[in-house]
Structure 1
Amino acid sequence: MSDSTAPFLRNTRSSYDAIAKDYASRFPDGLPHPLDRQLVTAFAELVTANGPAPVADLGSGPGYVTARLHDLGVPAFGVDVSPAMVTLAREAHPQLRFHVGSMTSLDLPDATLGGILALYSTIHVPDDHLPTAFSEFRRTLSPGAPVLLAFQSGPEPGHLHLAERFGHQIDLDYYWRTPEQVTALLTGAGLEVVATVLREPDGEETRGRAFLLARKP
């Protein structure tokens, strides 16, 4: 079975299609925490210093982080598995490019990206498919280009399945991983992890947040 037909992709797509409008309304800002915003700003500076190639925001949702990168002077486009999310992003940010796709099979040429941003999107990728995604990261990045990942984390890995959200029936899996797990997978894909940032849950958050900054050698 190819990743493009994997059940987790179909389930993630249909689930986010169902909740897209409610999700965008419930989370009008994709970076409400100041530390998250500062890390994205630092990522944008690293991208700019490395060259003019564009950044792919993988799991771009309604497009607010893609737009933030654009405001920071970074050429950026969004990729999301949900057509409904892509439609919302295009409506909200008509000056930017968004398309439907999966991080496990990027429709992009080799070594053409100036960076990859994946904020809270790898959490829906099962363990056995995550190495494929990280191999795609390495394939599409230009030399020296940075990667910034963010994901819910904790002292132990875990798994959650939701059948309902915002009053809609869904079929969505969440995978919680430790920074050490994700670091090992990035390294195994040929990427260098250069920084790890952890923060405790804030506000309504129930799990801590981990940020990994990596680069393609």
Structure 2
Amino acid sequence: MTEPSYLAAVRESYDTVSDDYAALVKSPTELDPLSRSMLTAFAEHVRVSDRGPVADVGCGPGKVTAHLAGLGVSPFGIDVSPKMIELARSAYPDLPFSVGSMTALEIEDAMLGGILAYYSTHHTPPELLPVVFAEFQRTLAPGGHLLLVGHVGTGERRRPAHAYGGHPVSYESYRLPTDQLAQLLSQAGFTIDAQLVQEPDEDLKWKIASFLAHKPTTEQAVLTS
């Protein structure tokens, strides 16, 4: 498919901020306990189901990819920003990273045991999220797991001029309602196993939603049909 136009702005912006992003964004070990617990639960589900490797989609500088490896799964990272991939390969040379887009993953059908989309879908225009979730569904093996995490809101559309050290950026971001994201996942064929909403506090600036879901097996699909 033709690359969606918004990806050019995302690629250019993250190439621009990559060094400061890597320095400013926390590693998973520095996250709040609930955020860490969702990553741990996802890794355990993937290990138990044992359906294949894990794609960290929108991996940035690879910090979360490396954390997943430490939790006992076999991850690889994908990001639309070549600069981010350079940083990830430099920091974690034992892990595989590649440039790619979640709108058209260069991954065979039913190959993955897990997909992590960790604060990586919020730049996708809402009308294109079904395309992204369909790619997740296509590439996951039956019984494979998805962890989707991101900021949520009431449908806000943000156009920041600067980010991560004051560098100019041209991307847009969206904070969709939790219920809308849950509906889109269900419409894409996922079964949601757990949903966690974290309210803003002195540590969290914005509301965060985490969805732990799986792609049903043929037997599960028959039972629910």
How would you bin the TM-score normalised by the shorter chain? over 0.9
Task: Name the residue aligned to 1:12.
Answer: 10
Per the TM alignment, residue 205 of structure 1 is displaced from its structure 2 partner at its CA by 3.4
Per the TM alignment, residue 206 of structure 1 is displaced from its structure 2 partner at its CA by 2.3
Per the TM alignment, residue 203 of structure 1 is displaced from its structure 2 partner at its CA by 3.7
8 Å Cα contact 2:156-2:174 kept in structure 1: yes
Aligned runs of 1:1-217 on 2, under 5 Å? Answer: 2-4=1-3, 6-30=4-28, 32-154=31-153, 156-165=154-163, 166-203=165-202, 205-217=204-216
The percent identity for this pair of structures is 45
- How many equivalent residue pairs? 214
Letter in 2 for 1:109: E
Relative to the length of structure 1, the TM-score reads 0.95
Instruction: Extract unaligned runs of 5+ from structure 1.
Output: none
Relative to the length of structure 2, the TM-score reads 0.91
8 Å Cα contact 1:3-1:104 kept in structure 2: no
Per the TM alignment, residue 128 of structure 1 is displaced from its structure 2 partner at its CA by 1.2
Structure 1 stretches of 4+ moved >6 Å: none
Per the TM alignment, residue 202 of structure 1 is displaced from its structure 2 partner at its CA by 4.0
User: 2: CA distance between counterparts of 1:71 and 1:193?
Assistant: 25
User: 2: CA distance between counterparts of 1:91 and 1:159?
Assistant: 34
Instruction: Extract unaligned runs of 5+ from structure 2.
Output: 217-225
Q: What CA RMSD, in Å, does the superposition of the two structures yield over aligned residues?
A: 1.3
User: 2: CA distance between counterparts of 1:202 and 1:72?
Assistant: 28
Per the TM alignment, residue 168 of structure 1 is displaced from its structure 2 partner at its CA by 1.6
User: 2: CA distance between counterparts of 1:143 and 1:128?
Assistant: 26
User: 2: CA distance between counterparts of 1:162 and 1:179?
Assistant: 22
Per the TM alignment, residue 190 of structure 1 is displaced from its structure 2 partner at its CA by 1.1
8 Å Cα contact 2:142-2:215 kept in structure 1: yes
Per the TM alignment, residue 52 of structure 1 is displaced from its structure 2 partner at its CA by 4.8
